[in-house]
Protein backbone atom coordinates (compact mmCIF):
# COMPACT_ATOMS: atom_id res chain seq x y z
CA UNK A 1 0.00 0.00 0.00
CA UNK A 2 1.43 3.39 -0.99
CA UNK A 3 1.87 5.98 1.72
CA UNK A 4 -0.27 9.09 1.49
CA UNK A 5 0.24 12.44 3.10
CA UNK A 6 -2.10 15.17 4.30
CA UNK A 7 -1.57 18.59 2.80
CA UNK A 8 -3.06 21.44 4.84
CA UNK A 9 -3.83 24.79 3.26
CA UNK A 10 -6.44 27.54 3.13
CA UNK A 11 -7.41 26.95 -0.51
CA UNK A 12 -7.58 23.32 -1.55
CA UNK A 13 -5.98 22.91 -4.96
CA UNK A 14 -5.79 19.41 -6.36
CA UNK A 15 -2.91 18.30 -8.54
CA UNK A 16 -5.23 18.77 -11.56
CA UNK A 17 -5.55 22.51 -10.79
CA UNK A 18 -9.18 22.30 -9.63
CA UNK A 19 -9.79 23.81 -6.20
CA UNK A 20 -12.26 24.82 -3.53
CA UNK A 21 -12.15 27.79 -1.20
CA UNK A 22 -14.46 27.89 1.83
CA UNK A 23 -16.09 31.32 2.09
CA UNK A 24 -18.70 30.68 4.80
CA UNK A 25 -18.78 30.73 7.72
CA UNK A 26 -17.30 34.19 7.52
CA UNK A 27 -14.61 35.61 9.76
CA UNK A 28 -16.13 36.78 13.04
CA UNK A 29 -19.44 34.94 12.84
CA UNK A 30 -20.74 33.42 16.07
CA UNK A 31 -22.70 30.23 16.65
CA UNK A 32 -23.95 28.27 19.62
CA UNK A 33 -23.82 24.52 19.96
CA UNK A 34 -26.96 23.12 18.33
CA UNK A 35 -27.27 26.00 15.82
CA UNK A 36 -27.55 25.32 12.10
CA UNK A 37 -24.34 26.18 10.27
CA UNK A 38 -23.99 26.76 6.54
CA UNK A 39 -20.68 25.97 4.91
CA UNK A 40 -20.30 27.44 1.42
CA UNK A 41 -17.36 27.03 -0.92
CA UNK A 42 -16.32 28.34 -4.30
CA UNK A 43 -15.12 25.95 -6.98
CA UNK A 44 -12.33 27.09 -9.29
CA UNK A 45 -11.10 25.38 -12.49
CA UNK A 46 -13.52 22.46 -12.07
CA UNK A 47 -13.46 19.30 -14.12
CA UNK A 48 -16.10 16.54 -14.06
CA UNK A 49 -14.01 14.17 -11.96
CA UNK A 50 -13.24 16.84 -9.34
CA UNK A 51 -16.91 17.85 -9.08
CA UNK A 52 -17.74 14.29 -7.93
CA UNK A 53 -15.12 14.17 -5.15
CA UNK A 54 -16.62 13.53 -1.69
CA UNK A 55 -15.81 16.04 1.06
CA UNK A 56 -15.72 15.39 4.82
CA UNK A 57 -16.33 18.37 7.11
CA UNK A 58 -15.56 19.02 10.76
CA UNK A 59 -15.02 21.90 13.13
CA UNK A 60 -11.45 22.33 14.34
CA UNK A 61 -9.73 24.49 16.95
CA UNK A 62 -7.89 27.31 15.16
CA UNK A 63 -6.58 29.17 18.24
CA UNK A 64 -3.10 28.58 16.80
CA UNK A 65 -3.40 28.99 13.00
CA UNK A 66 -0.06 27.21 12.57
CA UNK A 67 -1.41 24.12 14.32
CA UNK A 68 -5.14 23.63 13.71
CA UNK A 69 -6.36 20.81 15.95
CA UNK A 70 -9.18 18.42 15.07
CA UNK A 71 -11.87 18.06 17.75
CA UNK A 72 -13.03 14.68 19.02
CA UNK A 73 -16.71 15.63 18.57
CA UNK A 74 -16.25 18.14 15.74
CA UNK A 75 -17.72 16.22 12.79
CA UNK A 76 -20.41 18.04 10.79
CA UNK A 77 -22.93 15.27 10.21
CA UNK A 78 -24.95 15.03 6.99
CA UNK A 79 -27.64 12.60 5.81
CA UNK A 80 -25.89 12.06 2.47
CA UNK A 81 -22.31 12.35 1.23
CA UNK A 82 -21.33 15.88 0.23
CA UNK A 83 -19.75 16.34 -3.21
CA UNK A 84 -17.59 19.24 -4.38
CA UNK A 85 -20.33 20.14 -6.88
CA UNK A 86 -22.84 20.74 -4.05
CA UNK A 87 -21.16 24.02 -3.01
CA UNK A 88 -23.18 24.02 0.23
CA UNK A 89 -23.40 22.01 3.42
CA UNK A 90 -26.01 22.63 6.11
CA UNK A 91 -25.36 20.89 9.40
CA UNK A 92 -25.61 21.45 13.15
CA UNK A 93 -22.83 22.82 15.35
CA UNK A 94 -21.87 19.82 17.49
CA UNK A 95 -21.44 19.89 21.25
CA UNK A 96 -17.96 21.40 21.54
CA UNK A 97 -16.34 23.69 24.14
CA UNK A 98 -16.93 27.42 23.78
CA UNK A 99 -14.14 29.24 21.94
CA UNK A 100 -13.38 32.31 19.88
CA UNK A 101 -11.26 30.68 17.15
CA UNK A 102 -12.82 27.74 15.36
CA UNK A 103 -12.65 26.83 11.68
CA UNK A 104 -14.47 24.42 9.38
CA UNK A 105 -12.11 21.85 7.96
CA UNK A 106 -12.85 20.22 4.60
CA UNK A 107 -10.90 17.08 3.73
CA UNK A 108 -10.79 15.12 0.50
CA UNK A 109 -8.57 12.77 -1.45
CA UNK A 110 -6.79 14.32 -4.43
CA UNK A 111 -7.93 12.91 -7.76
CA UNK A 112 -4.50 13.45 -9.30
CA UNK A 113 -1.56 11.06 -9.43
CA UNK A 114 -0.34 11.95 -5.91
CA UNK A 115 -3.45 10.63 -4.10
CA UNK A 116 -2.69 13.02 -1.23
CA UNK A 117 -5.38 13.88 1.27
CA UNK A 118 -6.05 17.61 1.06
CA UNK A 119 -7.42 19.70 3.89
CA UNK A 120 -8.51 23.31 3.81
CA UNK A 121 -10.14 25.69 6.24
CA UNK A 122 -12.84 28.34 6.50
CA UNK A 123 -12.28 31.76 8.02
CA UNK A 124 -12.38 31.61 11.83
CA UNK A 125 -15.57 31.98 13.87
CA UNK A 126 -16.71 31.70 17.50
CA UNK A 127 -18.79 29.04 19.22
CA UNK A 128 -20.63 29.56 22.50
CA UNK A 129 -22.40 26.95 24.57
CA UNK A 130 -26.15 27.50 24.66
CA UNK A 131 -28.44 29.71 22.64
CA UNK A 132 -26.87 32.58 20.71
CA UNK A 133 -28.27 33.96 17.48
CA UNK A 134 -25.62 33.49 14.77
CA UNK A 135 -24.19 36.54 13.07
CA UNK A 136 -24.59 36.20 9.35
CA UNK A 137 -23.64 37.79 6.08
CA UNK A 138 -25.40 37.59 2.74
CA UNK A 139 -25.35 34.25 0.99
CA UNK A 140 -22.97 33.92 -1.95
CA UNK A 141 -24.26 34.64 -5.42
CA UNK A 142 -22.90 31.39 -6.79
CA UNK A 143 -21.04 28.52 -5.24
CA UNK A 144 -19.62 27.27 -8.54
CA UNK A 145 -18.41 30.37 -10.36
CA UNK A 146 -15.70 31.40 -7.98
CA UNK A 147 -17.48 34.74 -7.39
CA UNK A 148 -19.10 35.42 -4.03
CA UNK A 149 -21.22 38.28 -2.84
CA UNK A 150 -20.88 38.57 0.92
CA UNK A 151 -21.57 41.37 3.36
CA UNK A 152 -19.01 42.44 5.88
CA UNK A 153 -19.81 41.39 9.43
CA UNK A 154 -18.41 43.39 12.32
CA UNK A 155 -15.73 41.24 13.95
CA UNK A 156 -16.42 40.16 17.49
CA UNK A 157 -13.51 41.25 19.65
CA UNK A 158 -12.96 38.40 22.08
CA UNK A 159 -10.26 36.65 24.00
CA UNK A 160 -10.02 32.90 23.91
CA UNK A 161 -10.36 32.78 27.70
CA UNK A 162 -14.10 32.34 27.97
CA UNK A 163 -17.62 32.25 26.63
CA UNK A 164 -18.69 35.35 28.58
CA UNK A 165 -16.47 37.54 26.41
CA UNK A 166 -17.74 35.83 23.25
CA UNK A 167 -21.35 36.39 24.35
CA UNK A 168 -20.65 40.02 25.24
CA UNK A 169 -19.24 40.63 21.75
CA UNK A 170 -22.17 38.86 20.07
CA UNK A 171 -24.74 40.85 22.05
CA UNK A 172 -22.93 44.05 21.07
CA UNK A 173 -23.23 43.10 17.39
CA UNK A 174 -26.88 42.09 17.85
CA UNK A 175 -27.69 45.32 19.71
CA UNK A 176 -26.16 47.28 16.83
CA UNK A 177 -28.26 45.33 14.35
CA UNK A 178 -31.47 45.93 16.34
CA UNK A 179 -30.64 49.64 16.61
CA UNK A 180 -30.36 49.84 12.82
CA UNK A 181 -33.83 48.32 12.38
Q: What does the H/E/C string look like for 107-157?
A: EEECCCCCCCEEEEECCCEEEECCCCCCCCCCCCCCCCCCCCCCCCCCCCC
Report the pLDDT value the prediction gives residue 131, as an integer from 0 to 100.
Answer: 56
> Is there a domain that residue 141 lies in?
yes
In a domain, 1, yes or no: no
Domain contains 102:
yes
Asked if 127 contacts 96 with a C-beta cutoff of 8 angstroms, the reply is yes
- H or E, element range at 176: helix 163-180
The helix/strand count (H/E) of the chain reads as: 2, 12
Structural domain boundaries, residue 160: 6-180
Specify the CATH number for the domain of residue 62: 2.60.40.2550
Q: Is 130 domain-assigned?
A: yes
Q: Is residue 173 part of a domain?
A: yes
Q: Which of 174, 178, 123 has the alpha carbon at shortest distance from 150?
A: 123
**Could you state, in chain order, the average pLDDT of each consecutive group of 10 residues for the chain (181 residues)?**
43 86 95 96 94 96 90 94 97 96 94 85 92 48 36 32 32 33 36
CA distance 113 to 179: 55
Number of domains composing the chain = 1
Specify if 109 maps to a domain: yes
Is 174 inside a domain boundary? yes
Structure letter (DSSP) for residue 76: -
Given a contact cutoff of 8 angstroms between Cβ atoms, the answer to whether 42 and 166 are in contact is no
The answer to whether residue 90 sits within a structural domain is: yes
CB burial readout 80-116, b (16+ within 10 A) else e: eebebebbebebebbebebbbbbbbbbbbbbbeeeeb
- d(Cα 167, Cα 14) in Å, to the nearest integer? 38
Amino acid sequence: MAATSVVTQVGCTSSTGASISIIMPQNGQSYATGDKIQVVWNILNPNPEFLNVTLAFSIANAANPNNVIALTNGALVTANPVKVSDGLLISTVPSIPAGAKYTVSARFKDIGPTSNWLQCFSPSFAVAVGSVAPTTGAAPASATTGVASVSAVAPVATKSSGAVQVLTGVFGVLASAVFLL
